Amino acid sequence: MLKILIAEDEEPIANLIKINLKKAGYYCIWAADGEKAADYMESEKPDLVLLDVMLPGINGYELMEYARLLGLPVIFLTALGSTENKVKGLKMGADDYLTKPFEIVELLARVEAVLRRYHKTESVLRVFDIVIDTASRAVTRNGEQIALTMKEFDLLLLLVRNRNIALYRETIYETVWGGEYIGQSRTVDLHIQRLKKKLNWDNEISAVYKVGYRLEAE
């Protein structure tokens, strides 16, 4: 299981991030100040650091220098959203820079992108009795392959990587199809129905009223 260090002094934000990362299958460590974050960087050797800039003790920019020495990937999570701050963080070696407030779905996507860049993503995902091989884009149940279209596979991957999170139709459409969502479009609903039928997931994928869909999984 991939390990993520959350260096964030605001406990409600840290808890929100931690809950959703755990649901997505990551192991999380929380540091509420810079000194503890530095200790965890060295002792725990996380696969990724989510780093707030304005931390008590040692600030995020100072920690960034330490993370770079240890070869740790870093995503800045901060309320400092000016271009100057972003450029500073990226020039210091951060892999990404996300400004608060942010959508959890976007954070998960950026986490996955950075981990993939470092070849740290898990290539095989297991949900219920389904096995998903992300490298070969194959989906199997008990060794038998389930034929999915390209969009159905991308939709499944989005749901699995954001399990137990209610995803807006707009988010689903823009992530899977890459265009702007048109409110009256039935594309998402039709693909969800086809996916549920192919996987026999009538109860696993649930509709969320006036929002979209959620994959119910432990």
Each residue of 52-94: pLDDT tens digit? Answer: 999 999 999 999 999 999 999 999 988 876 778 778 878 888 8
SS3 170: helix
Q: How far is CA 43 from the centre of its chain?
A: 24
- Give the range among 15-19, 24-28, 92-96 with minimum mean pLDDT: 24-28
Strand 3-7 to strand 48-51: parallel, antiparallel, or no bridges (unpaired)?
parallel
Of 9, 16, 2, nearest to 34 by C-alpha is 9
| Confidence tier at 193 by pLDDT (50, 70, 90) | very high
For residue 183, the model assigns a pLDDT of 66
Residue limits of CATH 3.40.50.2300 in the chain: 3-117
Q: Span 3-117: which CATH code? A: 3.40.50.2300
d(CA 178, CA 120): 25
Please say if the pLDDT value at position 200 is more than 90: yes
Q: Which pair of structure tokens corresponds to residue 71? A: 């070869």
Q: What's at 214, amino acid-wise?
A: R
Residue limits of CATH 1.10.10.10 in the chain: 124-215
d(CA 157, CA 133): 10
Please say if the pLDDT value at position 184 is more than 70: no
For residue 206, the model assigns a pLDDT of 93
pTM, two decimals, is 0.66
124-215 to CATH, choices 1.10.510.10, 3.40.50.300, 3.30.420.10, 1.10.10.10 = 1.10.10.10
Instruction: List pLDDT tens digits, range 137-180.
Output: 999 998 899 999 999 999 998 898 888 888 888 888 888 887 77
For residue 170, the model assigns a pLDDT of 87
Please say if the pLDDT value at position 217 is more than 90: no
